[in-house]
Amino acid sequence: MAYIAYPECGKIINTHGCRGGVKIEPWCDSPAVFAALPTVYFKENGELRAVRVLRSAVLCGRFVSAELEGITTMEAADLLRGRILYAKREDLGIPAGVLLVAELIGLPVFHEADGREIGTLTDVIHPGATDIYVIKTDRGEAMVPVVKEFVRSVDIDKGIVISPIEGMLP
């Protein structure tokens, strides 16, 4: 497993204005993080294409409007609707050693006590004060709060080690 150099960071959901602007649903920690990106990328013929962000602003506290280099008409913007956008990891300000949810999905999960593989991480949900790891096991699904008492280590190359309490695993 490796770090994702160009993680997904949002999706173009509509046009914005009549001069080629786009409305974006950002998938960053906040819309302001997305609005500060100098360049975004989208896939074209299987390759990432860089597009400079000329202007951007946060809309209604949860969306971003942007003008992208080379997109000057509403029709051109409309052709981008539904496109997933990517950003360079360093442009997102992700500190070294910090893992993205997309990098965690698929990691094997091991029991701290005996080292046996319990299952695979399939999702991370964010219901409130702490995240919850969703782990697919051979007996069903387990949900483990991401706190030091239960999650002992996370390593992109070795997997996740947990210390579950009785009844936590199916």
Cβ-contact 33, 56 below 8 angstroms: no
What are the structure tokens assigned to 121, written together?
A: 């991480």
Picking from 107, 96, 85, the residue whose alpha carbon sits closest to that of residue 26 is 85
Place of tokens 């989208």: 42
Residue 9, pLDDT score: 94
Determine the residue type at 124.
V
Tens of pLDDT along the chain (170 residues)? 567 889 999 999 999 999 999 999 999 888 999 999 999 999 999 999 999 999 999 999 999 999 999 999 999 999 999 999 999 999 998 887 788 888 899 999 999 999 999 999 999 998 878 899 999 999 999 999 999 999 999 998 999 999 988 888 88
Has domain 8-92 been given CATH number 2.40.30.60? yes
Domain range summary for the chain, segments of one domain joined by +: 8-92, 101-162
What are the φ and ψ backbone dihedral angles of 135, each rounded to 5 degrees?
A: -120, 125
By CB atoms closer than 10 A (0-12, 13-18, 19+), residue 46 is exposed
* Domain at 101-162, CATH homologous superfamily: PRC-barrel domain (2.30.30.240)
